[in-house]
Amino acid sequence: MDENAKLLVQALLCLENEEEACRFLDDLCTIAEIKAMAQRMHVARLLDNDTTYSVIARESGASTATISRVKRCLNYGARGYRLVLDKLNKELNHG
């Protein structure tokens, strides 16, 4: 990871709440970029619930290429999706 990426990670880590995160994303990303990232997160959650590709495509509007990429990351990636999904599930179940 280069220094600019490390700075971005540090910026994300210093955010204290949902409002700060939303404000930062609004300034940092275009609406299309935020929608694309949100869609991938939605796809990851659906895949984690063993939802079929056809249902995911219909519910999320994601292409099969996007669904496949997210699935590949879930199965063989850096475990970032897994980490976030597990934390979200824990928060929702104990929240």
Provide the pLDDT for residue 95. Answer: 61
| CATH architecture of the region 3-94 | Orthogonal Bundle (1.10)
pTM for the whole thing?
A: 0.90
Of 22, 45, 43, which Cα lies nearest the Cα of 91?
45
Instruction: State the number of CA atoms in the 13 A half-sphere of 44 facing the CB.
Output: 23
Domain boundaries, the chain: 3-94
The stretches in the chain having pLDDT less than 70 are 95
Look up residue 86 and give its two tokens: 């597990």
